Amino acid sequence: AVFDRIDAVEDKIKAYVTLTRDRAFARAREIDRKIAAGEEIPPLAGIPVAIKDNMCTRGVRTTCSSKILYNFVPPYNATVVEKLEAAGTVMVGKTNMDEFAMGSSTENSGFFVTANPWDLERVPGGSSGGSAAAVAAGEAITALGSDTGGSIRQPAALCGVVGLKPTYGAVSRYGLVAFASSLDQIGPFTRDVTDCALMLNAICGHDPMDSTSAPQDIPDFTSCLRDDVKGLKIGVPREYMGEGIDPAVKEIIGQAIKLLASLGAEVEETTLPHSRYALPTYYLIAPAEASSNLARYDGVRYGYRAEDARDVVDMFMKTRSQGFGPEVKRRIMLGTYALSAGYYDAYYLKALKVRTLIKQDFDRAFEKFDVLLAPTAPSPAFKRGEKTDDPLQMYMSDICTLAVNLAGIPGISIPAGFVDGLPVGLQLIGRPFGEGTLLRVAYTFE
């Protein structure tokens, strides 16, 4: 049924870089055989899943939507891919994204632009726009994305689906192509909160292959799906409801607050005083890490190699000039500048200090509150091309999500309503490893 749907709408949506139809049918037949033979089947047996194209899949092209990796076929699976396979899912394909996950609209893909299923003239958000659009359009039942500064939650909001960024370290990054290693986390896109809990059950857990993976016991997240928020303390940071947020979005968030209060939650305004520094801090730290992580694409080890080079240095330069798109180049320049000898203390080191202040704002808020509530994105899906000429405008789309990555804490976006037929997301932010509480509050809205 999912492939029928793909045949019907993929021409317009363009969610996938690669479809793995034959593999998927072979695997589905294998599961059918097991069922017919009365064998035990795993919990997500036969569930069609889409994987963002920055997670390594053995034998299946993994491009990061970049020309520099257009022909890269990994010899191994990311841990999440292994885990989903063990849980019985069937991979449908690899989804389009902003090149190397740098962007908020999927317009930075080196290949093509993905459309928002609610309005084909609009962007699906990004960088995991292909995954969000695939789930929203019924081209997959669930999908994986990665979130460095909002890239799961923001496209989930713009496409009207559920998206969760887990606590840093909750899900293994082994086999996730690194953008900013101290911020990147993998998480699920689903149609509802129950599916989100099931996906978390499948992908969370310690992995010795990732040195930043947390040695945490994982609960059964479905046990958190209680329709009860009585007595929970929910904080609404005033910095997330101020200037720059579309009044129609604020209105919908206001309705959600009323609903939670009517169900017995204690909702109160609070403050995260360093919020306004999140954007500049992120745009120093993320490009700094990216500039280092992307040094490996040199035409020797992976993917694309420029022809007609005079010598090896010329080959590096031509490969990188031709292989990377403009936004990736901008990030590499920002990052190498912030890390260079004369500027390191003034920019990179300063940003690390402000990151600690941002983290401490959240620590203080969580002394009082179980969950924080905010919009996911400042506006519903914008038109294609609307922000492509102004990088700062594009960066502002993540104003509500960036700080969560800097603090390493979990955040979920759930559909909360519509403005002019376009979905609006509500964001819930939790304590480290507080995913269960997020799911509990989110479940109220189903």
Catalytic residue annotation: 52, 127, 151
The window from 41-49, 97-105, 310-318, 417-425 that contacts ligand GLN (CB under 6 A) reads 97-105
Q: For 434, phi and psi rounded to 5 degrees? A: -95, 25
Task: Single out the residue of 79, 109, 114, 148 in contact with ligand GLN (rule: CB under 6 A).
Answer: 148
The window from 143-151, 207-215, 271-279, 350-358 that contacts ligand GLN (CB under 6 A) reads 143-151
- Alpha carbon distance 174, 167 (integer Å): 16
Decide if residue 103 touches ligand GLN (CB under 6 A): yes
The window from 30-38, 149-157, 168-176, 332-340 that contacts ligand GLN (CB under 6 A) reads 149-157
Decide if residue 105 touches ligand GLN (CB under 6 A): no
Task: Single out the residue of 47, 56, 102, 399 in contact with ligand GLN (rule: CB under 6 A).
Answer: 102
The window from 74-82, 96-104, 241-249, 333-341 that contacts ligand GLN (CB under 6 A) reads 96-104
When the beta carbons of 101 and 198 are compared against ligand GLN, the nearer one is 101
Decide if residue 101 touches ligand GLN (CB under 6 A): yes
Please report where in the chains the tokens 């496209």 appear, as a residue.
155
Decide: 165 and 153 in contact? Cβ < 8 Å: yes
Decide: 377 and 396 in contact? Cβ < 8 Å: no
Q: What is the DSSP string of 188-204?
A: EEESSHHHHHHHHHHHB
Decide: 181 and 173 in contact? Cβ < 8 Å: yes
Q: Which tokens is 98 given? A: 């902003």
Decide if residue 54 touches ligand GLN (CB under 6 A): no
Decide if residue 104 touches ligand GLN (CB under 6 A): yes
When the beta carbons of 396 and 419 are compared against ligand GLN, the nearer one is 396
Q: How many residues sit in the footprint of ligand GLN (CB under 6 A)?
A: 13
- For residue 23, the tally of other CB atoms under 10 A from its CB is 16
Decide if residue 77 touches ligand GLN (CB under 6 A): no
Task: Single out the residue of 10, 85, 147, 435 in contact with ligand GLN (rule: CB under 6 A).
Answer: 147
First to last CA, the chain: 25
Decide if residue 199 touches ligand GLN (CB under 6 A): no
Measure Cα distances from 66 to 83, 132, 257, 297, 303 in Å. Answer: 26, 19, 41, 11, 10
When the beta carbons of 43 and 326 are compared against ligand GLN, the nearer one is 326
Decide if residue 150 touches ligand GLN (CB under 6 A): yes
Residue 348 DSSP one-character state: I
Beta pairing class for 371-375 and 16-19: unpaired
- For residue 17, the tally of other CB atoms under 10 A from its CB is 24
Could you list the residues that contact ligand GLN (CB under 6 A)?
A: 101-104, 127, 147-151, 179, 286, 398
